[in-house]
Structure 1
């Protein structure tokens, strides 16, 4: 397991063309298990998801974004496809559909870092509809950099 810093920039564009930008940098972890790469980090009050843990599973042609805590969700993003999901909140469940328009990712084998410490990145663009009605377009840029201050740690979960 490698300790990393996860930088997330989210741009939401509503039906009036107004953008809301949220940026977060959070300590996290990166590891590979059974050919799948994982990025884990905690959300904060900046994103409105304080105390929520986010896990990104990186596959060759898709990613799965999972959140657990005050809200629970699991979305799979595959370019050109629409996927349904349930977003569980303390106020009730929302049925959502996510149509992925953009998906670019680059996480080199075995999580090697570039000279600037970049472990990998994800660029994701998708439409969200709730209860069948379009809500907004969201764009996520996630950069995972090696945490040079804290380095590696063992995790019994990954047996590395």
Structure 2
């Protein structure tokens, strides 16, 4: 396992309101197995997901985000793919649909870059347009 720093920039655009952006930084561990890459890290108060472990799994065509702990959720991104999932919290289950419109993963200058754009639906109603950039740099 290789120690890494992780930087996540997310932008949410909802109809009728101004886009909101957040930045989060973590330290984690990375490994490669069978042509797929894995990064594991622990969420903290900055994301609102204390005591949650997150695993990112990716290759050239898809990115999978798996969370377990205070919330349980698996979300898959692949250009043109519609992912139906349930976001489990201690209080409720939230049905989500993710429609990926853009996905690009690449390695440049010693860092991985995962770019994802998607529409998020809650109860089959559009919730917002999302853009995420994940940068992963070996330490």
TM-score range, shorter chain: over 0.9
1:146 and 2:134 correspond? no
- Contact 2:60/2:104 (8 A) holds in 1: no
1:129 and 2:115 correspond? no
CA distance in 1, matches of 2:18, 2:130: 12
CA distance in 2, matches of 1:92, 1:77: 24
CA distance in 2, matches of 1:51, 1:21: 23
What runs of 5+ residues in structure 1 fail to find an aligned partner?
Answer: 109-113, 148-160
CA distance in 2, matches of 1:145, 1:59: 16
Offset of residue 121 of structure 1:
0.9
1:105 aligned residue: 105
Specify the SS of the correspondent of 1:125. strand
CA distance in 2, matches of 1:130, 1:90: 18
Offset of residue 125 of structure 1:
0.6
Specify the SS of the correspondent of 2:46. helix
What runs of 5+ residues in structure 2 fail to find an aligned partner?
Answer: none
1:58 aligned residue: 58
- Contact 1:52/1:70 (8 A) holds in 2: yes
CA distance in 2, matches of 1:138, 1:84: 16
Q: Considering fraction of residues, name the structure with more strand.
A: 2
1:36 aligned residue: 36
1:120 and 2:108 correspond? no
- The answer to which of 54-63 and 120-129 deviates more is 54-63
Specify the SS of the correspondent of 2:129. strand
1:16 aligned residue: 16
Specify the SS of the correspondent of 1:45. coil
- Aligned length in residues: 139
Give the structure with higher Rg (CA): 1
2:77 aligned residue: 77
